[in-house]
Chains A and B, each alone.
Chain A
Amino acid sequence: MVWGASPTLTAGAAPTRAVPSAVGAEPVVRAARFALAHVPHLVVAGSKPRRELAAQGQGLWYKLQASLRNFEAAVAYPPHQVMLGNLAPEALWDCPRPWHRAPVAGARPEGPAGVLVGEATLHTWLVRGDAAKLVSLAEDYAVELSARLAGARVATANAAGLKAALAVGGEPLAGPAGRVLGVVAPGHEADESLTGAVILENLVAKVTGALALRRLLDEVCPAEPVEFLLGSGEEAVGDRYQRGGGNLAKAIGELAGLRGAGGVDLKAFCAGPVHALIMAGALVRSGLYRRVIVVGGGSLAKLGMKSLGHLAAGYPILEDVLVGMAVDVVADDGRSPRLRLDSAATLRLGDGDAPHQVAMALTVAPLKRLGWRLSDVDRFAVELHDPDVTEPAGSGNVPAHNYRIIAALAAQAGEIDRGGMAAFERAHGLPGFSPTQGHIASAVPYLPHAIAGLTDGSLRRVQLIAKGSLFLGRMTTMGDGASVVLERNAR
Chain B
Amino acid sequence: MLDFKGKLVLALGERDGIPASSILTCAESAGGQVVYNVTQCFV
Contacts and interface: CB of A to CB of B under 8 A. Distances in A.
Interface of A: 270, 352-355, 383, 385, 390, 393-396, 398, 401-402, 436, 438, 441, 467, 469, 471-472, 477, 479
Contacts of B17: 355, 396, 401
A484 B6 CA distance: 45
A377 B39 CA distance: 31
B43 A390 contact: yes
B43 A477 contact: no
Given A353-B22, A354-B22, A396-B16, A471 B42 contact: no
A469 B22 contact: no
B33 interface: no
Given A398-B16, A469-B15, A479-B15, A438 B21 contact: no
Top 6 A-B pairs, shortest CB-CB distance: A469-B41, A395-B42, A353-B19, A354-B22, A353-B21, A471-B39
Contacts of A402: 16
Report whether over half of chain A's contact residues are helix, strand or loop; otherwise say mixed. Answer: mixed
23 contacts: A270-B43, A353-B21, A354-B18, A354-B22, A385-B43, A390-B42, A394-B42, A395-B16, A395-B42, A395-B43, A396-B17, A398-B16, A401-B17, A402-B16, A438-B43, A441-B43, A467-B15, A469-B41, A471-B41, A472-B41, A477-B20, A477-B39, A479-B15
Contacts of A469: 15, 39, 41
Nearest to A436: B43
Contacts of A395: 16, 42-43
A284 to B, nearest CB: 31
Interface in B1-43: 15-22, 37-39, 41-43
Contacts of B39: 353, 469, 471, 477, 479
Contacts of B41: 469, 471-472
Contacts of B42: 390, 393-395
Nearest to B23: A354
A89 to B, nearest CB: 18
A353 B17 CA distance: 11
Contact of A383 (B19, B22, B37, B43): B43
A393 to B, nearest CB: 7
B29 to A, nearest CB: 14
Q: Identify which of B16, B17, B21 gathers the most chain A CB atoms within 10 Å of its CB.
A: B16
Nearest to A437: B43
Nearest to A395: B42
Contacts of B37: 477
Contact of A355 (B16, B20, B38, B43): B16
A143 B4 CA distance: 68
Q: Identify which of A353, A385, A390, A393 gathers the most chain B CB atoms within 10 Å of its CB.
A: A353
A303 to B, nearest CB: 14
B19 A398 contact: no
A472 B21 CA distance: 14
B37 to A, nearest CB: 8
Given A398-B43, A436-B43, A441-B43, A477 B16 contact: no
A401 B16 contact: yes
B15 to A, nearest CB: 5
Nearest to A394: B42
A441 B18 CA distance: 21
A479 B43 CA distance: 14
Nearest to A354: B22
A34 to B, nearest CB: 18
A354 B20 CA distance: 9
Contacts of A438: 43
A352 B22 CA distance: 9
A396 B42 CA distance: 9
B15 A477 contact: no
Contacts of A436: 43
Contacts of A355: 16-19
A1 B13 CA distance: 48
Given A441-B43, A477-B39, 17 more contacts: A353-B15, A353-B22, A354-B19, A354-B21, A355-B19, A383-B43, A390-B43, A395-B16, A401-B17, A402-B16, A436-B43, A438-B43, A471-B41, A477-B20, A477-B37, A479-B15, A479-B19
